Structure 1
Amino acid sequence: MYLFSPFSEEKLCPLRASIDVLEGEYFFLCYVESRQEHFQEEGYTINWYKESAGKQQLIKETHRIVSQRNFLEFWPAELSDSANYSVTHSNGKQNFTIQKWTLNVLERNKSSCFNRNHLTTEIKSTGTGHSLKCNDLSVYENDSVTWYKDCKSYEHETERELNFRSLTVQHSGIYTCKILISHEGKIYPSTNTIKLIVEEDAPEAVTLEIVGLHEEIETEIGKEEILNCTGFLGYYRQEDASLYWLINQKFPDKCTGIPENEPSICEEEKDLPLGNKFYVTRLLRIKEVRDEDMHSNFTCMLQADESTQIKIVKLKKGKARDLPVHVFTTGMVLALLFPFAVVAVVFVFVMFRVDLVLFYRDICRRDDTAGDGKEYDAFVSYLKDCASPIEDEREFALKILPTILEENFGYKLCIFERDVFPGGALVDDIHSFIDKSRRLIIILSQNYISDRAIYELESGLHKALVERKTKIILIEYMPISDYNFLPESLSLLPSKRVVKWKKDKSLPVNSRFWKNLRYLMPAKPIKIKTKEHFNNLDLGSGALQPWTEGCDFNAVI
């Protein structure tokens, strides 16, 4: 007996190659039977298979997994169910594969009613009508349906469609519909989550593209290689766009995260949201390069709508160069006679690397700023709240930092409150002054949470990680125990670009703090005022008054 008609089959069984589902929820796989299969029902048998770790196993029914002709039910789905599935017809002589799926069972977020990896995004304009649909969750009728907005019950809606006659910006949010299904005396949930974004105007058309060109990488047999492909998927993630690797026109296995069970070549996905732009990185991990890999075609493909872009990466053997006999002999002699000297040189270089680089800049009067078209050496971003109780932080950003860098070392800083006249467009001003600056100095603390500060940080991260135009310097003004309030992409910055302020220990002009900061700043001929000392600065309470008097940064934002 069938639970649904051919008409409902086509609605409930879309052609989805990859499916995500939450653990602990009811779920089903199904396919649409053809008319011929109905007529030849008695002569055919249907088998469901699960492929895991390269092995295909026939699925046997249990109290939890039930197969009935053209659909397979999970009561409920568990994390161990993540695998490739297929269904076949057999006439006793031959097996015919009808359809294949890749099922990803996602871990449930215990602190929220949804998992951010288990949602779709819909972007609409204000003033238009729209409906959110709770589809493909159950094959049974009379299910109990409940809608939630941002995890709160939404207006007691119990229909499978949530209709909006005229959208407004206030309708934006994350909507979750939950269906409760009864089976053998137990109740199982099935959910669908949609992120609705309502904008004043339709978003501008963007071109989805792969970042970077074709590559040819020199490597060696037995060496580990990681091939990188990054794609721009537009403003917010577009669900109809996909980025993936092909090896000789075949899909690689997914990385499991368990080293001992990892395939020799596997694919790993990482999201990289920067502001309202969405990037996806696909990593192809090769444990040990083999000879046949040198002749393989590694192709990264980006598909969106009807367009396709590709990036081809090839491996080639590096040219082996034998050392001449006299060079080898000389090297061996030097290694035997001067081991302690070599260790000493390495130790001095590692310990005094910053001092050596600064000394070299001063001697050679190196100038990295000439002719680059930039107006400022650095744009300073910090917590800009006039009512902030952290007066020392404001004093550091507006008095100490510019006094030392500008008056003692000749740098030119752009400080928004000091150098930008009010009344302009905030977003344009921030973009403009970051573009005019060679560095972006971010003063990090637990108070770095204002809207404008976060926007400056995201803009700087985009220019540092994607456009590679501006380098970022992080100053940890006070110890930070929790970085959850900062964007995840900040973790992609190298740790060597973080300088820690240690209060009185960092005050002198020749302290390690100022040396490390100068090392990260662009090289520039300077005349250090050696007779002046930081202690001569007037740090009275009125020192900041000319810059901050009467400011209302929240009003600007």
Structure 2
Amino acid sequence: MMPLVFTLLCLCVLKMGGFSASVTQATVQSELQCHDWGVWSEGSVQVYDGEVAYLYCPLFSHPTLYSYNQTQNSRLSLLWYRHTHTQELEQPINLKLHKLHKDREYLWIQPASVLDAGLYTCMLRNISSCVKIGVKLEVVQKDGECDPRAKPHLNLTIPFQSERTLTCPDLNTLTLPNSTHSVSWYQSCRTTLFRSDRELKGDGLVIYRMLEPYTGLYTCVVSYQMNGRTLNFTRSINVTAVVPDVGPKVPIILNPASDQIFTVTLGSTVNLSCRVYLPHLYEEKQNIWWTVDNKTVEQLADPRFRSPEATLFSYDYGDEIKERILYVMDFSSDDLQREFNCSARNSRGFNTSRAVLRTEPYVPTLELGCGLGVTLALMLMMFVIYHVFWLELLLLYRSWFGSDERYTDDKQYDVYISYARNSEEEEFVLSTLRRVLEAEFGYSVCIFDRDSLPGGTITDDTLRFVGQSRRLVVVVSPCSAVRGTQALLELQAGLTSMLHGGSLKVVLIQFKPVRRKSWVKELRQARLALTLICWKGEKSAPLSSRFWKQLQLELPMRRDTQHTLTKLPDITQHTPDTHTKNTHQAEEKLIDPYSTSAL
């Protein structure tokens, strides 16, 4: 009995110790921090729905990191996890599923469906270390046998007139050796009858002579049997034609050319362009760089100098023109003494060219701009001033540079006023026009009815008065210049004197609007050569109005004229009795036949 109890106790102790050890191991593993390398974007896989897909663990992509054999020897475990949009945490992959298969560093999905899309994580770990990296799987729907917009799995360049055999990528990886499979080829997603320069041979497509029409996207669809199921996968190859490898193939520097001069501005950022023609060389990197005083930009270590990598300028069947820019910030006069060289090299040769710099002639742009702006502003201001105050400016000019006609002729009167003999026009002429011209402007005014003596002949006196006047002011109204009137005689005398080279100038004052058809023939013929000034009633009454300024501009100049541009009293309401009280009362009583007192 005792040996049995002892044995049971030993078993219990062993089990308790084993349980404790397992708990300790799990605790250590749970506290272990796993180094995450993120997502391997270059290794993302895109597969069509219903086709075979395989994921490669990128941890084995570089020999210095890990190898699968080292992993096995160091007892590292390779585990696969999956993370989808509907899951918050990574879930371990169940390899017991019939469609999933792990082969060394590969994870196979045979076949893949839309539900299999997501982020797959491969993890290497043991009890003391852990590292993981993610690979993205994208499952897309396939429209027909192939998709012309599919991302190519392989880019292939073939020289013109050369021979090349196209082999479907991953064919040996996805199919078992000596397995039964079939390969279908398409060009630009079209079934092509390959003959002449192209031929289907075995699983590959042979191009005997590469031509321009043979470029484009080639698609191969592989079908094979595995475990009683038919599986397939699709791969795409982008084929481009390049020039054959003949000739010297030495880089040619196009810019800077031998006779080219770069114009630079001191104190600014200068961009120097190095443009090089690079002949096609199969799988060979060709270098372009700038040197400053025989030192590269990296060797200078000067922040003022910067030269990004060369960019592709043009591409022609493999031959490229690339451009590399040298930026020189805050260009100084000392930089003009430096030597800037553009260089290019490949396995066939080396070429270099020096950039010749010259400072741009200084153009005082700011000064010229300011001067031009001020000049335009002054011109605009002068135009506005002239447009608004042109009458005042002309009157001012006449007062400074004009000549007094009294000293150059022997005429007696400055102004002769011609008007229709009716009460309204007579009121305007005698009470307003005559008064302002004589009292305010100092002109000597001749009015036939006032200045002619009784007993004389009207025609002779009219011609004499008009001939002795420097200006003939004709008041135009519907009643003026009627056939057989005194006003028409005065107008004809003035026009005759003006048209025959006389010094008399005729000025028209439109007292009331008159239709042009109502004008007499003499007035219509001479209208274009005469100045017409419009009287606008109360608006023209002030001496500062446009009417008086225009009229004074047409009349002879008087240097001793003194008057203030103030508003006249309400002269339209004056009666002849009011005017008889001015300084000319006695004269008007004797010679004005229309005066009430004279009658």
Which structure has more helix as a fraction of its residues?
2
Q: Which has the larger radius of gyration?
A: 2
The TM-score range, normalised by the shorter chain, is 0.3 to 0.5
Q: Normalising by the residue count of structure 2, what TM-score does the alignment of the two structures yield?
A: 0.33
